[in-house]
Structure 1
Amino acid sequence: MAPPSDTVPPPPRTPSAVPRARRPHPLLAPVRLLRRHAVVVAGTLALAYLLVPNLVVLVFSFNKPAGRFNYEWRTFSTDAWTDPCGVADMCGSLSLSLRIAVLATLGATVLGTLAAFALARYRFRAKGTANALIFLPMAMPEVVMAASLGTLFLNMRVAFGFTTILIAHVMFCLSFVIVAVKARVMSMDPRLEEAARDLYAGPVQTFLRVTLPLAAPGIAAGALLSFALSFDDFIITQFNAGPSTVTFPMFVWGAAQRGTPVQVNVIGTAMFVLAVAIVLVGQVTANHRRRSR
């Protein structure tokens, strides 16, 4: 039998004495919902703000202006889409820009990938200096780099034209490729390559079957970024192009002074749709591989 206690037990609480839970005010529900998804909402608004100019270009590619300037909406027309090369020299400049962008992307991707592996995997003197110098083309104003390259070509007595533009584009795209590939290489697990060597794979076989597939997303990201930067560059191209070499951005700049044709909006919309399609294909492929595992 339990000994008697000196303390008196508290009286039982009646239902009226139990505190009631506060009900949230109905007007505060949207505020709480917005606070819970603030990051998603902010990201969506930022993305929509970035896509507004592309939407304007898409809409005005179906416009039929009354004069030379395609700045006011007049009437719906598909004439520019059925004849995208209706403006003289526009498709020639577009072809030149695409050739330069493809070659500059190949050169910058190969050199940048090799440099990224060297900086991420090996130790050598002045490695810190090399890492700092890589960011100079990215941080330097583009007009300074353009003027420097133009002065270099003048002192070397190199004729301005296709070759000088290609060299300049490879130089300023190289840093972006190195940064993208280096970030991917540093995140790779070296034990996977060690396991391949333990299974009697040679250096070439290990690189082709293990290292290169693992580094492929970074290489692809650097290549796509390099192509986009090379295709729409104007300042560096303007300083290093010859008098008879006109790329697509230079053509747009010259045409804007006399009247921008609707076909420019058509080319811009087509390039935007192509870029979005490449990104979507990459995402679908990555999701399919992830599910297959």
Structure 2
Amino acid sequence: MSQTVTTREPATRPARRRTGRPWALIVAVCLVFGFLYAPIVWLALVSFNDSRTVSRFTGFSTHWYAELVQDERVIAALGLTLRIALSSAVVCTIVGTLAAFGLRRTFRGRGLWTVVLTLPLVVPEVVMGVSLLAFFVKLAGIPLGFWALLAAHVAFSLSFVVVVVRSRLAGMDTRLQEAAADLGAGPLTAFRTVTLPLVAPAIAAGSAFAFLLSFDDVVISSYLTGVGSTTLPVFVYGQASKRGVSPEIVALSTAMVGVSALLLLIGVAVVTWRARRVGRRVDLTVAG
């Protein structure tokens, strides 16, 4: 008489889900954010200190900001910085966008031009500042001042516009252009109604990058500053080197951080709004 033995495989236990919070990750993130933003928060608090020493808080006051508005040196440096930053952003936006569209095509020497246009991203600012100083003074004969600063800021900001716009072009769906052509749109019409609206957020982002890089630059500008052409970051660095960290410098630095952060938030909001609007408009255009 034979007997049949039935064996049962052990039931696999379901994986236990971790419901607890990753405290190690939370602590690490808090430490990183604290390391990055604690000095900025301290700077903002000290800028409203009534005392002339930054190490002792005696009361809340906006006296130092009023002093900045009345300082002619600060106003002159701010005006020069804004003129250079706006001019650099306009030139970089136009040239960088055209270069990004050009690098989208396949031609002989494309790799070389790509390296040339993106090389300033990895070149140290000290090396770039010294090389530009030698070029302007020894070879080109351009006097130090506004034009030398503008050329230098365009040189190191152009790469960011090229990279941002080119990355958007690389991720763009070419079927939208083909659909526009199938619907009877010519090359210029397809570019104006499909390509340009899709690339517009990247162009705006690249322009904002170029402006902020020029507005906050210290290293390269310090090499090319001439008599009566001191930018605001170079002015802050010079005053801090001579007199130390005074309440006026703290207030001026806080104002610069606030302006940069405000422009960055406005740029992000505009780019996000533009991207959503353009996406809906392109869908309607292709569907129609």
Q: Look up the equivalent residue of 2:61 and give its one-letter code.
A: S
Residues 101-140 of structure 1, C-alpha deviation per residue, up to 9 Å, x if partnerless? 01101101111111011112x1111111111222321111
Q: Write the distance in 2 (CA, Å) between the matches of 1:240 and 1:250.
A: 10
Distance 1:56 1:221, change over 3 A: same
Q: Which residue number in structure 1 is paired with residue 100 of structure 2?
A: 116
1:6 and 2:3 are equivalent in the alignment: yes
1:91 and 2:80 are equivalent in the alignment: no
Structure 1: state its 5+ residue gaps: 11-17
Distance 1:286 1:112, change over 3 A: closer
Distance 1:224 1:91, change over 3 A: same
Structure 2: state its 5+ residue gaps: 284-288
Q: Which residue number in structure 2 is paired with residue 153 of structure 1?
A: 136
Moved over 4 A (4+): 40-45, 286-293
Matches within 5 A, 1:50-65: 50-65=36-51
1:215 and 2:199 are equivalent in the alignment: yes
Distance 1:255 1:193, change over 3 A: same
Q: Write the distance in 2 (CA, Å) between the matches of 1:151 and 1:202.
A: 48
Q: Give aligned pairs, total.
A: 272
Q: Look up the equivalent residue of 1:52 and give its one-letter code.
A: A
Q: Which residue number in structure 2 is paired with residue 168 of structure 1?
A: 152
Q: Write the distance in 2 (CA, Å) between the matches of 1:284 and 1:176.
A: 19
Q: Which residue number in structure 2 is paired with residue 188 of structure 1?
A: 172
Q: Write the distance in 2 (CA, Å) between the matches of 1:118 and 1:284.
A: 26
Q: Write the distance in 1 (CA, Å) between the matches of 2:72 and 2:55.
A: 21
Q: Which residue number in structure 1 is paired with residue 91 of structure 2?
A: 107
Q: Which residue number in structure 1 is paired with residue 122 of structure 2?
A: 139
Q: Which residue number in structure 2 is paired with residue 277 of structure 1?
A: 265
Report if the CA contact (8 A) 1:87-1:263 is conserved.
no
Q: Which residue number in structure 1 is paired with residue 185 of structure 2?
A: 201
Q: Look up the equivalent residue of 2:198 and give its one-letter code.
A: L
Deviation at 1:64, TM superposition (A): 2.1
Q: Which residue number in structure 1 is paired with residue 228 of structure 2?
A: 244
1:263 and 2:248 are equivalent in the alignment: no
Any idea what SS the aligned residue of 2:76 has? helix
Q: Write the distance in 1 (CA, Å) between the matches of 2:120 and 2:171.
A: 24
Q: Write the distance in 2 (CA, Å) between the matches of 1:180 and 1:41.
A: 33
Q: Write the distance in 2 (CA, Å) between the matches of 1:49 and 1:196.
A: 50
Q: Write the distance in 2 (CA, Å) between the matches of 1:240 and 1:202.
A: 47
Distance 1:270 1:160, change over 3 A: same
Q: Write the distance in 1 (CA, Å) between the matches of 2:236 and 2:151.
A: 22
Deviation at 1:51, TM superposition (A): 2.1
Report if the CA contact (8 A) 2:164-2:206 is conserved.
yes
Distance 1:174 1:224, change over 3 A: same
Residues 59-91 of structure 1, C-alpha deviation per residue, up to 9 Å, x if partnerless? 122112335xx4543322122345541334112
Distance 1:81 1:42, change over 3 A: same
The TM-score with structure 1 as length reference comes to: 0.80
Distance 1:228 1:273, change over 3 A: closer
Distance 1:280 1:47, change over 3 A: farther
Q: Which has the higher helix share?
A: 2
Q: Write the distance in 2 (CA, Å) between the matches of 1:164 and 1:59.
A: 36
Distance 1:266 1:203, change over 3 A: same
- Please identify the structure whose Cα radius of gyration is greater: 1
Superposition RMSD in Å: 3.2
Report if the CA contact (8 A) 1:57-1:269 is conserved.
no
Moved more, 149-158 or 184-193: 149-158
Report if the CA contact (8 A) 2:88-2:214 is conserved.
yes
Q: Which residue number in structure 2 is paired with residue 13 of structure 1?
A: none
Distance 1:287 1:241, change over 3 A: closer
Identity of aligned residues (%): 37
Residues 22-46 of structure 1, C-alpha deviation per residue, up to 9 Å, x if partnerless? 9x9xxx964xx217x94x7755653
Any idea what SS the aligned residue of 2:251 has? helix
The TM-score with structure 2 as length reference comes to: 0.81
